Amino acid sequence: MARGPIGWILLALTANSAFAADPKIDSAITVFKKTQTEAEQLKTFCAMSKAMEAAAGSEDAATMAEADGYLKQLGPDFESAWKTFRGADPNSPDGKVLNRAVDELGSKCP
């Protein structure tokens, strides 16, 4: 990377985007960001989040199946990104980056 003011500006800009070195993490973040910009995808994500919240405190199989159905509607790229998110240690640097991306996505829900 270039040294000097331009190099530091580029470093700040790339650090601000919060992308990780792992391609799976980068891919998941890209999918989450893309979901924010697609109205139908965002609507489905918000419905999935609501169903997951409802299922969190219970063992209601119907609610869990509903959440899983929404996840499948979001498509294989989102499913893969979600699997990466769920499999990451939330205290690791990658987990923190993924949590921020999912939190940002969730903040777009009504």
66 located within any domain: yes
91 located within any domain: yes
Place of tokens 């769920």: 86
Q: Which domain holds residue 71?
A: 22-106
1 located within any domain: no
The residue count for the chain:
110
CA distances from 32 to 45, 64, 66, 97 (A): 10, 21, 20, 12
For 61-106, what is each residue's pLDDT tens digit? 888 899 999 999 999 999 999 999 999 999 999 999 999 999 999 9
* Total structural domains within the chain: 1
Nearby residues of 67 by Cβ (< 8 Å), 6 or more positions away: 48, 51, 52, 55
Predicted confidence band of residue 13 (pLDDT cuts 50, 70, 90): very low
70 located within any domain: yes
